[in-house]
Amino acid sequence: MSLNKTLVDMDYLLNEAPREKHFITGAQAMAEAVKRASVDMAIAYPITPQSEVMHLVGDIYAQGHIKEYYRAEEELGTMSAIAGAARAGVRLFTATSGPGLLRGLEAIVSWPGHRVPCVLGILTRVVNAPLSIQPDNIEMAYMLHCGAVMLHAENQQDTFDYTLAAFAITEKVDVYIPVAVATEGFFVTHAKGYVNMMDEKYAYKEVDPYEAPVPAMDNEVPPARIQRDAPVQKSNFMSYLIHSVWQQEIWDSNRRAMKYIYQYLGGPIEVINPDADVFILASGCAAAQAREANRYAEEEGLSVGLIKVKAIRPFPKQEIRDALKNAKSVIIPEHNIIGWLASEVKSSIDNSGIVVDGPRVYGGMTLPVELIMTEIYTALGMETETLQA
Amino acid sequence: MSKIIEVGPVGYMPQSAPSMGVELSPEGQALLYGNIVSEEEAMRDAAKALLTMDNPTIFPGPQVLWDWKDDVAEKSAAILEMASEIPNCKIIPMPDYRPKYPKIDVKAEINPNHPNLTILDNRIKACVFIGVHCHYANLTLRMIRAGTDCYTVAMCAMMGHEEAMASIRDVHASDVLKFRDIIIEVRNELGIEHTPTMPPENPSLPEEDWGSLTPADYGEYRSLIMSRKGEHVADVE
Amino acid sequence: MSLRYMIPASKFKRYLPKDYVELVDYGPFGKKYSEVGVKNMGAYKELVEEHPMCSGCWMAYYIKIIFASLPNPENTVTIGTAGCGRLAISQAAVPFVYGNYGDQNAMASGMTRAFRLRFPDIQKDVITIAGDGGMMDIGFSMTMHAWFRREKFTTIMLDNETYGNTGGQESGMSMEGAVLKMSPKGKNFGKLPAMQLAITAGCVYVVKMSPTNINKASKAIRRAIFAARNLGPTFIHAYTSCNIEYSIPTPDVFADAKEKEKGRFAFEEYMTPEAKELFAQIESKTKREVS
């Protein structure tokens, strides 16, 4: 490549390389991260609101930052091709949204078990039907149980940092499962925000396909007869046992990712005002609104804490349990109807009675700060005028 | 030291070591029964196990069995030197990760999809894995801990293994030789006399002679392949 | 030199099972096709030996031909999907990827491109081998689009005209009227025109055959691989009967294949002018290389 990049490790790239402030969209932020990640190959398939990301990644490819790029036939084809290319030992990126994620899900949920390291952008959108292209992160609920590492970005800056960090985390020998970086469609992807970025001459060091817990299937690594993906063809106890320990290994790998989330992202949660009685806990775009509510509350002289959850998988059970051990109430605003984050929190803490289920918006609605404020007033025992959602 | 990871069998459905809170050791250190200790402490315990337990066996994996990288020659030589210092030591390779059908020769190899067949058949009570890719090593180590009473040592070129009783990380040829020296040291402390002996070569079964196969060779399954007396199968349903 | 990955470390040679040592000493890796290949089957260590396929399985026989025909087995990766074939393919001494349902040609697209990035100077052959269900039903879109995109790898369809591995259901390649599971009253449409689809989609070399002649079968496989290296996608549609589901007595399997060769699996070969030129070059240069 004639772009003359300075290849560095992820610690330097994220924490030391000098940065400059830019005003860009979330889609641009994700693509800018890809540009600095020495990605070998990206595979695209359109779906709103993701398309913008892969358009920009296509431009980056045309500029020579990525070696290979193509538009696949549909998402199952995309995700399958990622799995094929990963076995050949290259660094990979793709992104999708809502229905596209579900179409590709058969392949995606097999990535962890097949030890496919790659970064998947999830730019959330309602799952049809009725048809809609609007933001709603219910699709993330479908991803929770496949073993992939999942990060949830609050804004454009997070989208940039998490995507970059994801490339390092996914290739760690003791992790080596895919990392999904999710953020809300439109609210983040199509809105501009300030993003501090290092110069594009800096790029993450290139992938070493042999620094891996499984052999690359490139005819360069023993054993000669590789079959990485043991199809368990027999109905006997040993076959069940290999499958069960294999599944354990995927979740162990997921668990091991936590130390890298500390290393690169400063931990899986961010806590503001840790001594408060009432907390707002949120991830992704809802965390931005929660942050706003936290500021409102502060202006009104109310003591309200904020917990932003950055990592959805591995889920920071212990960290959340510690942060909430003295809390009297925790309000969990979400951009989906089922409240997957609230369920996760409830199953993580001993005092699950403190969880306020909501407020929730979905179908593309924005999350007015007032909805969160109403819950804060209720939690604090204050009289309120209710805002009808 | 409290042992988090103990010699099995831990039973039907093993709990994984990471889920029991075991974390990989940092560089320069090792894991012993799930605890982070110095490399020497782990090596001494492992050496004692290999010297005192029945049928100590080294399981070399593909990364040291094949000459695919420049450091393999040195490392494989070191492994054999180490093996020669352990009385009655055997070498059974893990050459392949595929599940093998129709059967595996348990005297000649170990397979990550059903490692216990080899451990149990050979009554191996202490073993070393070296050169196995980490994913398969973890599966194997956990299944051995689940179903056998074998003491496992992982000598890993990368970050080590939570599942092993003793896990040494970042292993190069020099670390294998260091382990050999510790084996000699512990052996002398235990007063075990031994002259270095190379392990016996691979006892692969002779190729089956299908020409002389008789129904008796099918054992309990013979009834499945033999027609009953007087029965003549002419038609296929 | 990539053969290194299959040469045992000298110190360990005596500790390896003989099977693996023989594979290097007597196997086809790094050898000329004239020394190994289908003509010499039985006289060298083959890539597929033991497998768990049914007695009399014509598919197992054809899979052995595929592996004996590889021009460069030390630099070949095979990709397959659910189905009987993978039971034998996965026992071959060639890396095998077993992915999800019908995804083999999408996987191969990613893999072929990745190999070309990483090894611009080494030819790595990617071959997908799957059944009629995997190629023409569940994997249809991925099969077709890989061809439309002109992905440079070889596709081999093992057509047994049914879903053999799941118990004999109707497939898109079953004959009209065939009474199978899930078509209890007989299939009400005919075989998908796989060969025509492949030609229309841009395959540069397409063969339909019942592989009764091993030399002819091998020649087609090798041509398909050579053409895929340089020119574009190639496709082989081979009849590999299911003697279980179609109740073909084991001794009659060959006769059945012969009979099909006279009928719907009559040998047909399509090639683009470029492919024709390529074969002429290769086959005249080293006459023994291809045949």
Cα distances (Å, whole numbers) of residue C119 to A305, C111, C116, C123:
54, 12, 5, 8
**Which C residues, 10 through 69, put their C-beta within 8 Å of a C-beta on chain B?**
10-12, 14-20, 50-52
Q: Round the average pLDDT of chain C to a whole number and report it.
A: 93
| Confidence tier at A92 by pLDDT (50, 70, 90) | very high
**pLDDT surpassing 90 at residue A1:** no
| Closest residue to A85, CB basis, from C90, C114, C145 | C114
Q: How far is CA B79 from the centre of its chain?
A: 14
Q: Is the pLDDT of residue B228 over 70?
A: no
Dihedral-angle region of residue A186 (phi above 0 means left; psi in -120 to 50 means alpha; beta otherwise): left
CATH number for the domain whose boundaries are B18-190: 3.40.50
What percent of chain C clears pLDDT 70, i.e. is strictly above it?
A: 97
Return the DSSP state at B212: G
CB A121: neighbour CB atoms within 10 A? 29
At residue B218 the predicted structure's pLDDT band, cuts being 50, 70 and 90, is confident
pLDDT at B103: 75
Residue A369 has pLDDT above 50, yes or no: yes
CB-closest option in C16, C50, C87 to B202 = C16
Please tell me the predicted confidence (pLDDT) of residue A246.
Answer: 95
Q: What is the pLDDT of residues B53-107, one digit of tens each?
A: 999 999 999 999 999 999 999 999 999 999 999 999 999 999 989 887 667 889 9
A220 touches chain B (CB under 8 A): yes
Alpha-carbon gap, residue A127 to A132, rounded angstroms: 8
C1 pLDDT above the threshold of 50: no
The pLDDT, as a whole number, for residue A135 is 94
Residue recorded with tokens 């030890």: A115
Helix (H) or strand (E) holding B59: strand B57-60
**What confidence score (pLDDT) does residue A223 get?**
83
Q: What percent of chain A has pLDDT over 70?
A: 97
What is residue B231's predicted lDDT score, i.e. its pLDDT?
A: 63
pLDDT tens, A76-88?
A: 999 999 999 999 9
Q: Confidence class of residue C290 from pLDDT cuts 50, 70 and 90?
A: very low
Judge residue B135's burial from the number of C-beta atoms within 10 Å of its C-beta, 0-12 exposed, 13-18 middle, 19 or more buried.
buried
Angle between helix C140-148 and helix A75-87 axes, rounded to 10 deg: 70
Query: What band does B207 get if pLDDT is binned at 50, 70 and 90?
Result: low
Span A198-210, mean pLDDT?
96
Sign of CA dihedral A156, A158, A164, A167: negative
Using a CB–CB cutoff of 8 Å, tell me whether A80 touches chain C.
yes
Q: Which two tokens stand for residue B129?
A: 């894995």
Q: Which of C109, C137, C144 to mutate to test the interface with A (most CBs of A within 10 A)?
A: C109
Helix, strand, coil proportions of chain A in percent (round to 5)?
A: 35, 20, 45
The CATH code belonging to domain A6-204 is 3.40.50.970
Cα–Cα distance, A117 to A89 (Å, whole number):
9
Q: Does A223 or A35 have the greater pLDDT score? A: A35
Q: What percent of chain B has pLDDT over 90?
A: 79
**Is A386's pLDDT higher than 60?**
no
What is chain A's mean pLDDT, rounded?
A: 95
Residue B153 DSSP class: E
Q: How far is CA C28 from CA A9, A140, A165, A260, in A?
A: 42, 49, 45, 45
pLDDT reported for residue B232? 62
A170: its two tokens: 């996914």
- Secondary structure E strands in A231-362: 269-272, 278-282, 304-309, 311-313, 329-331, 355-356
Whether residue A84 contacts residue C109, with contact meaning beta carbons closer than 8 Å, is answered with yes
Is the confidence at residue C130, as pLDDT, over 70?
Answer: yes
Q: Cα C122 from chain centroid?
A: 22
Band (A384; pLDDT cuts 50, 70, 90): low
Instruction: Give CA–CA dist B142/B15, Å, rounded.
Output: 8
Identify residues of C whose CB sits under 8 angstroms from chain A CBs. Answer: 2, 5-6, 20, 23, 29, 52, 74-77, 79, 86-87, 90, 92-101, 103, 106-111, 113-115, 117-119, 124, 141-142, 145, 149
Q: Choose among A333, A380, A1, A366: nearest CA to A186.
A: A366
Domain with CATH 3.40.50.920 in chain A: 269-379
**Average pLDDT of the residues in A18-25:** 98
Count Cα neighbours of C86 within 13 Å in the Cβ-side half-sphere: 27
Nearest chain A Cα distance for residue C6, angstroms = 5
For chains A and B, what is the number of CB pairs under 8 angstroms?
A: 104
For A228, which residue in chain C has the nearest alpha carbon?
C97
3-state secondary structure of A378: helix
Least reliable range by pLDDT among A97-111, A252-266, B38-52, C31-45: C31-45
Q: Is the domain A269-379 a CATH 3.40.50.920 member?
A: yes
**Confidence at residue B151, expressed as pLDDT on a 0 to 100 scale:** 98
Subunits close to A (at least 3 CB pairs below 8 A) = B, C
Give me the residue spans of the domains in chain B. 18-190
Give helix then strand counts, H and E, for chain A: 13, 16
pLDDT score of B21 more than 70: yes
Q: Is the pLDDT of residue B208 over 90?
A: no
What SS3 class is residue A95? strand
DSSP characters over chain C: -GGGGGSBPGGGGGGS-HHHHHHHHHSSTT--TTTSTGGGTTSS--S-----PPTT-HHHHHHHHHHHH-S-GGGEEEEE-SSSHHHHHTTSSS-EEE-STT-HHHHHHHHHHHHHHH-TTS--EEEEEEEHIIIIITTHHHHHHHHHTT--SEEEEEE-SSBTTTTSB--TTSPTT--BBTBTT--SS----HHHHHHHHT-SEEEEE---SHHHHHHHHHHHHHHHHHT--EEEEEE---TTTTT--GGGHHHHHHHHHHTTT--EEEE-HHHHHHHHHHHHHSHHHH-
> From the CA of B146, how many Å to the nearest CA of chain C?
27
Per-residue pLDDT averaged across C91-115, rounded? 95
Q: What is the pLDDT of residues C157-183, one digit of tens each?
A: 999 999 999 999 999 999 999 999 999
Hey, which of A154-158, B201-205, B224-228 has the most confident mean pLDDT? A154-158
Domain assignments of chain C as residue spans, ordered by start: 12-290
pLDDT given at position A337: 96
Please name the member of C6, C118, C142 whose beta carbon is closest to the beta carbon of A218: C118
Q: Cβ atoms within 10 A of the Cβ of B36, count?
A: 15
Contact B93 C17 (CB under 8 A): yes
Nearest CA in chain B to A222: B62
Least confident of A25-39, A53-67, A343-357, C40-54: C40-54
Contacts of C50 in chain B (CB under 8 A): 101-102
Structural fold of domain C12-290: Rossmann fold (3.40.50)
Nearest beta carbon to residue A80 from set C87, C113, C142: C142
Beta carbons within 8 Å of A347's beta carbon, 6+ residues apart: none
